[in-house]
Chains A and B, each alone.
Chain A
Amino acid sequence: MKTWRLSALALILALAALSLQCGKKEEVSEAPKEEAAPTTTYQPTGDEGAIVGVVNFTGQPPQRRRIQMEADPVCAQKNPNALSEEVIVNNGKLQNVFVYVKSGLEKYSFPVPAEEVVLDQNGCMYRPHVLGVMANQNVKIITSDPTNHNIHPTPKNNPEWNVNQPPGSDPIIRSFPRPEVMIPVKCNQHPWMRAYIGVLRHPFHAVSKEDGSFEIKGLPPGEYEIEAWHERYGAQVAKVTVGAKETKQIEFTYAAGQAYRPGSLRLMPALVLPCCEMGRASISKR
C-alpha cells in the first residue's frame, strides 16, 4: 500500500512539473521592440546617412559539414558537394549575419517596396540563405530544381503556411504581415534546406556578404540600436548616432564557442547545466 501511495504522490509531482512547464512562456526568437504606431510617413530630405560595417569572427570556426542529399537523387546529382551554410567564415569574417535597425525609427512609417524579394530553391538549397523584407512586401519563391519542394515558414508572430512547389511550376508569392526577426523557412522533404527571413516595418537591413561587410543606406539622421543576428551565434546590439549625410562605421564580433541557436534549443530548456549554458555574444561597437 505504501508503494502505491508513493507512486501516486510521485505521479502528482510529475504532473505538477508538466503544468509548470506548460505555463512557461515560450521563448520567441528575437523580435523587434514593440513600437507605437508611427505618425509620419518618412519623406527623404537628402540628409540621409548610412551605416557600414563588418562582422568579425574570432577563434576556430566550426568546419562546414557535408550535406547528405542521397535521399533525393536529383539533389545529390545537381549539388554533389553541398556544404552546410550555418556558419560561413572567410578570413575571420562571418557571412549571413542579418543586420538591421532595431529601434530609433518608431516615429516614421515607410512605404512597402513594390519589388519582390526572390527566394530561389537551387541545388536543393535556398538562395539566399538569409534575407530581409518589409512587412507586407512580397516574397517571390521560385524553384530551379527538377525535383519537388515544399516551402514551410515557421513564424511565431505571423501565419504559418506550407505549400508544395513541383518542378517547373509558377512562382509562389507570399508576404508576412507582421514584423518578426527571424522566420525560419524549411523544406520538410529535404530537411537540410533552411533559410531565414527577417521581416521589418522599415527597409533598413542588410545581410553580411562573403567578406563580412554590410551596408545600410538611406537612414534618416538619428540615434539607433543596430542589431546583428546570426542563426547560431545569436544577436548583438550596438548603439549608433547617424548625423546628416554621415556614414558611420560599426563592427560586430562573434566568437567561436558561443554557439547559440534561438528557438531551436527548446530540446532541453528545462535542464540547463551551469557548465553547459551558452551565453550570447557580447556587444561590440566602435
Chain B
Amino acid sequence: MRGERAIHRLALVTVGATFLLIVLGALVTSNEAGDSVPDWPTAFGRWLPLDHIVGNVVYEYTHRVVAATVALMTLALNMALWRREERSWVRGLGLMALLAVLGQALLGGARVLFLEHRFALALTHAFMAQFFFGLTVSVAVVTSPRWRRWEARERTAHLPAYLPKLCGAAVLGLFVQLLLGAGFRHRGLGILPHILGAIVVSGAILGVVRAVRRAVRAPEAPSEVRALARQALWAAGLLVAQIALGIAAYFARRASRFDPQPLEPMISLTVAHVAGGAALLAIVLVLTWWTVGLSERARAAVAPRPMSERAF
C-alpha cells in the first residue's frame, strides 16, 4: 500500500514538473528564444555554459534542464511501476509516457538543428508536450487511492452511455485545438482555425458538464460520481478563463506587433493561455478517466489483472 501511494505521489510530482515544463516552453516561444542556443544536446558546446546564460539563453537553457529532469522523473516512475504495479495497462501507460518524453527530447533537438523544418518540428514538439502531459495525468489518475478503491469495490455507476465518448471527443478536440493554437503561435497558421476549434471544444466541454450534472442528480449516485460534478465545474471555469485569456492574448499580440522586442503583457498573457490549455486538458482528461472507469460498459477494459498474468 505504501508503495502504491509513493507511485501516485511520484506521478503527481511528474505532472507538476511537466506543467512547469510546458510553461517554460511557452516562455521560450513568447520570448523568441527558441534558437538562442544554436547547438543540441550541448549548449555552446558544453553541458553547463554558465558564462553564456544571459538574455534569452536563460529561457532556453532552463527549459532544457527541466526537460531532462522530467525525463529522469518519468524513468523513475516507470521503474516504480514495473516493480509495484499489478495492472499491465497502467505499466503500459507509464512506458508510453517514457517513450513520449524521449521522443519529445529528440523533437526538441531536431527543432534546434533542422531549421528548414522549423514550423513542422515546432508544431510536433508543442503537440507532443501536451500528449506527454496527458499521459502523466492519466498515470496519476489511475494510480490514485480513490481509483484503486473504486476498482476494488467492483461496482459500476449508472452514467449515460454516451458520456465517456463525449469526454473522449472533448479530449481529442482539445488536442486538435492545442495543435491549432501552436500553429498560430509559431506563425504557420492563421487565427481562424483556432477560433473554430475553440467553438467546437467549448461545445464538447459544455456538453460534458451538462451530462455530468444530470448524472449527479440521480439519488443513487455514489460519491465517486458526485465528485465528477466538482471536476466538471472546474472544467467549465477553466474553459471560461481560457477563452478570456485567449482573447486577451490575441489582442495583446496584435497590439505588440510593432514592438522592438517581446514585451509584457503579451508574454504573460500568451504563456498563461498555453498553461490554461494544458490545465483544461488535464481536468477534462481526469473527467474522461473517471467516466470510463465508472461506466458499466467501459469498466471491463480497465479491470485489474493479477501479477501472474503480466505480459512482459
Q: Which residues of chain B come closer than 8 Å to A73, judged between CB atoms?
A: 54
- Confirm or deny: B265 has a beta carbon within 8 angstroms of a beta carbon on chain A: no
Flag the segment in A111-119, A155-163, A240-248 that touches B. A155-163
Partner of B189, one of A13, A163, A270: A270
Decide yes or no: A267 and B253 within 8 Å by CB, A7-B200, A192-B261 being known contacts. yes
Q: Which residues of chain B come closer than 8 Å to A13, judged between CB atoms?
A: 196, 200
Partner of B261, one of A68, A166, A259, A268: A68
Report the separation of the CA atoms of residues A7 and B170 in the bound assembly, to the nearest whole angstrom. 8
Report the separation of the CA atoms of residues A21 and B197 in the bound assembly, to the nearest whole angstrom. 13
The interface of chain A, by Cβ under 8 A from chain B, is 1, 3-4, 6-8, 10-11, 13-15, 17-18, 21-22, 62, 65, 67-68, 71-75, 84, 86, 147-148, 150, 152, 159-164, 166, 186, 188-192, 232, 259, 261, 264-271
- Confirm or deny: B2 has a beta carbon within 8 angstroms of a beta carbon on chain A: no
A-B residue pairs in contact (CB < 8 Å), sample of 16: A3-B204, A3-B207, A6-B203, A7-B169, A22-B189, A67-B260, A147-B54, A148-B44, A150-B37, A152-B35, A152-B38, A160-B118, A164-B44, A166-B44, A189-B33, A271-B195
Report the separation of the CA atoms of residues A166 and B189 in the bound assembly, to the nearest whole angstrom. 35
Q: How far is the CB of A85 from chain B (nearest CB, A)?
A: 8
Q: How far is the CB of B32 from chain A (nearest CB, A)?
A: 5
Complex contact B254–A267 (CB within 8 A): yes
Partner of A11, one of B187, B190, B200, B262: B200
Complex contact B32–A266 (CB within 8 A): no
Q: Which residues of chain A come closer than 8 Å to B176, judged between CB atoms?
A: 11, 14-15, 18
Residue of A with least CB distance to B51: A148
B111-137 CB mask vs A (1 if < 8 Å, else 0) is: 000011010000000000000000000
Complex contact A7–B55 (CB within 8 A): no
Q: How far is the CB of A227 from chain B (nearest CB, A)?
A: 22
- Confirm or deny: B31 has a beta carbon within 8 angstroms of a beta carbon on chain A: yes
Report the separation of the CA atoms of residues A155 and B36 in the bound assembly, to the nearest whole angstrom. 17
Partner of B55, one of A1, A10, A72, A159: A72
Complex contact B200–A14 (CB within 8 A): yes
Of listed A75, A160, A270, residue having the most chain B CB within 10 A: A270
Which B residues between 155 and 201 are near A, CB-CB below 8 angstroms? Answer: 162, 165-166, 169-170, 172-173, 176-177, 179-180, 183-184, 187-193, 195-197, 199-200
Q: Which residues of chain B come closer than 8 Å to A15, judged between CB atoms?
A: 176
Decide yes or no: A150 and B200 within 8 Å by CB, A1-B162, A17-B193, A191-B56 being known contacts. no
Decide yes or no: A67 and B261 within 8 Å by CB, A11-B173, A160-B116, A163-B38 being known contacts. yes
Q: Which residues of chain A come closer than 8 Å to B180, judged between CB atoms?
A: 14, 18
Complex contact A160–B55 (CB within 8 A): no
